[in-house]
């Protein structure tokens, strides 16, 4: 495995402890491997069953709670039946464990003793838990308004918690100065995180008998699950395991929808043949929303997210807080206990289903547990 800068093309060996290129560009990972569904037969039901696809060399450095392979269950949205990945059942209560397991394994392999990370709460909880498991010290930066139960969870794992005045963007600025001297275990910058979240795609395809769904509906905050799933589906297609990529539909909060706005601008540009493709806006401020996990005003990988939407023939939709609350109530009344950000996704699924094709095989996710809220 090596790191590749998406801006200048420079490569770095896997032994480097980096999260961005010296030119400031985002890093991706080049990882050559051979994967075959037969390889996983008889392996334990965890995300590490796709071992060959994960960019961590030795089993001895893997930091894991035997997580993943979450149930894919049918849930009815009106008259439509959608398959939902129960990723709220991860050890820390969200799918962020997928990324944390791979990223912290790499930190452990490199002998890192201390990391910093910023988060709206869930990525911070995941990094804190995996660091605790590997005896790595960590400092987690979160916005002051983060749900108290997430703050408690992060502190309980023994992390040093820094609550930052202002919005999520202010927290991201605060961690960057801390990252000058300490390894930045960033879920948005570090590409290893995305090579953990890609296991979502592997699990979905395996659970569907090594078939891809027609459509996948996922949240877009920093796009860690969205882009991870895209990487996973692409790898499975490149390995000849699935014939085509699923259509990828992203859900944003109407109060904070930078990717949606770019998607619409580029779509309109194409429709009007103005040649406008991606108009990447500067950071814009967000209004408050109950979907705290996806309130990201300027996702660093926005261009990659828009590319995944375009390449898969997908789209981006928005939901407002009243739609989220309505959807949450429906989920609760069926016995599913998910947090409000996860309710944004189910509200998006509900909206999408109104115009979905008959027999369309749709997959989505419960991203975070309801016990995290409050
Ligand atoms: C519960 C929950 N759902 C969804 C998201 C979306 O994040 P991302 O787009 O980075 O995958 C988050 C991020 O913190 C979250 O906590
Ligand atoms: Zn570079």
Domain boundaries, the chain: 72-94+194-372, 96-191
pLDDT beyond 80 at 233? yes
pLDDT at 34: 96
Give the C-alpha separation, 302 to 41, whole Å: 37
CA distances for 179 relative to 184, 232, 320, angstroms: 5, 29, 34
Mean pLDDT for the stretch of residues 274-293 = 70
Indicate whether 70 pLDDT > 60: yes
Of 151, 224, 324, the residue with max ligand 1 atoms within 8 A of its CB, to mutate for a pocket test, comes to 224
State the virtual CA torsion across 18, 21, 27, 32 in degrees, nearest 10: -70
Looking at CATH, the fold of the domain delimited by 96-191 is given as Rossmann fold (3.40.50)
Give the C-alpha separation, 373 to 61, whole Å.
Answer: 33
Instruction: Give the C-alpha separation, 374 to 366, whole Å.
Output: 18
Find out whether the beta carbon of 339 lies less than 6 Å from any atom of ligand 1. Answer: yes
pLDDT at residue 279, as a whole number: 45
Distance between CA atoms of residues 355 and 150, nearest Å: 36
Of the pLDDT bands very low, low, confident and very high (cuts 50, 70, 90), residue 278 is very low
Q: What is the pLDDT of residue 190?
A: 98
Pick the residue whose CA is nearest to atom 12 on ligand 1: 293
Nearest residue CA, atom 7 of ligand 1? 221
What's residue 274's pLDDT?
62
For atom 5 of ligand 1, the residue with the nearest CA is: 293
Answer yes or no: is pLDDT of 66 > 80: yes
pLDDT at residue 280, rounded to an integer: 47
pLDDT number for residue 272: 67
Q: What would the mean pLDDT of 148-162 be, rounded to a whole number?
A: 97
310-316: average pLDDT: 97
State yes or no: pLDDT of 267 exceeds 90. Answer: no
197 lines ligand 1 (CB under 6 A): no
pLDDT band at 266 (very low <50, low <70, confident <90, very high): confident
67 within 8 A of 47, measured Cβ to Cβ: yes
Residue with the smallest CA separation from ligand 1 atom 16 is: 293
Whether residue 100 has its Cβ less than 6 Å from ligand 1: no
Query: pLDDT band at residue 283, thresholds of 50, 70 and 90?
Result: low
Decide: 223 in ligand 1 pocket, CB within 6 A.
Answer: yes
**Binding site membership of 220 for ligand 1 (Cβ less than 6 Å):** yes
Neighbouring residues of 99: CB distance < 8 A, sequence distance ≥ 6: 123, 126, 187, 192, 193, 194, 196, 197, 224, 228
Which residue of 151, 189, 222, 306 sits with most ligand 1 atoms within 8 Å of its CB, as the best mutation to test the pocket? 222
Mean pLDDT calculated for residue range 78-87? 96
Is 92 near ligand 1, meaning CB less than 6 Å away? no
Compute the mean pLDDT over every residue in the chain, rounded to the nearest whole number.
95
CATH number of 72-94+194-372: 3.40.50.1100
For a pocket test of ligand 1, which of 219, 253, 298, 331 has the largest count of ligand atoms closer than 8 A to its C-beta?
219
Mean of the pLDDT values across residues 207-230? 98
User: CA-CA distances (angstroms) from residue 246 to 195, 267, 350?
Assistant: 18, 19, 18
Ligand 1 atom nearest 226 alpha carbon: 11
* Fold: same for 72-94+194-372 and 96-191: yes
The predicted model gives 271-282 an average pLDDT of 55
């Amino acid at each position: 495995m090596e790191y590749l800068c998406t801006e200048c093309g420079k490569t770095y060996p896997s032994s480097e402890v980096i999260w961005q290129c010296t030119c400031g560009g985002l890093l991706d990972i080049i990882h050559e491997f051979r994967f075959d569904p037969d390889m996983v037969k008889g392996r334990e039901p965890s995300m590490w069953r796709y071992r060959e696809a994960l960019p961590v060399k030795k089993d001895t450095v893997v930091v894991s709670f035997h997580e993943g392979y979450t149930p894919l269950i049918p849930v009815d949205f009106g008259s439509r039946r959608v398959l939902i990945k129960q990723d709220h059942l991860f050890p820390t209560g969200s799918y962020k464990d997928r990324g944390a397991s791979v990223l912290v394994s790499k930190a452990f392999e490199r002998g890192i003793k201390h990391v910093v990370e910023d988060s709206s709460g869930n990525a911070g909880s995941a990094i804190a838990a995996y660091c605790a498991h590997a005896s790595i010290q960590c400092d987690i930066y979160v916005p002051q308004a983060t749900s108290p139960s997430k703050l408690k969870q992060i502190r309980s794992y023994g992390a040093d918690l820094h609550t930052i005045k202002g919005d999520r963007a202010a927290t991201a600025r605060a961690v960057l100065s801390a990252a000058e001297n300490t390894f930045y275990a960033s879920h948005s910058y570090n590409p290893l995180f995305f090579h953990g979240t890609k296991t979502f795609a592997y699990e979905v395809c395996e659970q569907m008998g090594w078939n891809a769904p027609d459509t996948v509906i996922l949240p877009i905050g920093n796009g860690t699950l969205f882009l991870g799933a895209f990487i996973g589906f692409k790898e499975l297609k490149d390995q000849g395991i699935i014939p085509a990529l699923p259509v990828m539909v992203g859900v944003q909060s109407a109060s904070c929808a930078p990717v949606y706005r770019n998607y619409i601008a580029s779509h309109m540009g194409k429709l009007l043949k103005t040649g406008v493709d991606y108009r990447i806006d500067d950071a814009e401020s967000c209004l408050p929303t109950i979907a705290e996990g996806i309130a990201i005003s300027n996702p660093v990988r926005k261009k990659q997210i828009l590319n995944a939407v375009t390449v898969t023939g997908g789209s981006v939709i928005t939901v407002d807080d009243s739609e989220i609350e309505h959807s949450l109530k429906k989920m609760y009344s069926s016995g599913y206990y998910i947090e409000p950000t996860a309710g944004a996704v189910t509200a998006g699924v509900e909206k999408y289903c109104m115009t979905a094709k008959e027999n369309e095989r749709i997959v989505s996710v419960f991203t975070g547990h309801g016990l995290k809220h409050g």
